[in-house]
Amino acid sequence: MNGHSLFQKTYLRAVENSNPSDIYVVTNELHHFLVKNQINELRYPIADEQILLEPSGKNTLPAIAWGVTEIAKKNPDSVIMVFPSDHLLGASAGEELRSAVPLCEHYLVTFGIIPDSPHTGYGYIAPGNPLEKGFQVHEFKEKPDEDTARQYVKDGYFWNSGMFLFSVQVFMNELIRYQPIIADIFEKGGSWDELPSVSIDYGILEHSNNVAVVPLSSSWSDLGNFNAWYEISGKDACDNSGNCMAIESYGNFVTTKDRFAALIGIKDTIVVETCDALLVCRRDMAERVGDLVKDLKKQGNPITEIHRLVYRPWGSYLGLETGPGFQIKRLTVNPGMRLSLQRHHHRSEHWVVVHGTADVELDGKQLFVRPGESTFVPAGVMHRLGNSGKIPLEVIEVQIGEYLEEDDIERTEDDFKRV
**What CATH number should be reported for the domain holding residue 399?**
2.60.120.10
Mean pLDDT of 186-213: 95
pLDDT tens digits along 251-271: 999 999 878 999 999 999 999
Q: Is the model more confident about 277 or about 306?
A: 277
Q: Are residues 32 and 144 in the same domain?
A: yes
Q: What is the pLDDT of residues 33-43, one digit of tens each?
A: 999 989 988 99
For residue 299, the model assigns a pLDDT of: 93
| Phi, psi dihedrals of residue 143, rounded to the nearest 5° | -55, 125
> In this predicted model, what pLDDT tens digit does every residue of 96-136 receive, in sequence order?
999 999 999 999 999 999 998 898 888 999 999 999 999 99
241 and 218 both lie in a single domain: no
Domain count for the chain, please give it. Answer: 3
Domain that holds residue 22: 6-222
Give the model's confidence band at 2: pLDDT under 50 very low, under 70 low, under 90 confident, else very high: low
Q: Which residues pair with 315 in a beta bridge?
A: 312, 333
pLDDT band at 290 (very low <50, low <70, confident <90, very high): confident
H-helix or E-strand spanning residue 273: strand 269-273
Residue with the larger pLDDT of the pair 184 and 221: 184
pLDDT at 323: 93
User: Is residue 173 over pLDDT 60?
Assistant: yes
- What's residue 85's pLDDT? 92
Q: How far apart are CA 160 and CA 232, in angstroms?
A: 19
Q: For 273, list phi and psi in degrees, rounded to 5.
A: -115, 130
Decide if 302 is inside a domain. no
Q: Residue 29 domain-assigned?
A: yes
Q: Which of 257, 277, 297 is the last residue of a domain?
A: 297
Same-domain status, 290 and 343:
no
Please list, in sequence order, all residues whose beta carbon lies within 8 angstroms of the beta carbon of residue 383, skipping any fewer than 6 positions away.
341, 342, 343, 349, 360, 361, 362, 363, 377
Q: Are residues 245 and 162 in the same domain?
A: no
Same domain, 106 and 244: no
Residue 209 and residue 243 in one domain: no
* Same domain, yes or no: 158 and 248: no
* Of 244, 78, 231, 108, the residue nearest 178 (C-alpha): 108
The more confident residue out of 218 and 314 is 314
Helix (H) or strand (E) holding 32: helix 32-41
Residue 1 predicted with pLDDT over 70: no
Please check the confidence at residue 148 and state whether its pLDDT lies above 90: yes
What pLDDT band is residue 238 in, cutting at 50, 70 and 90?
very high
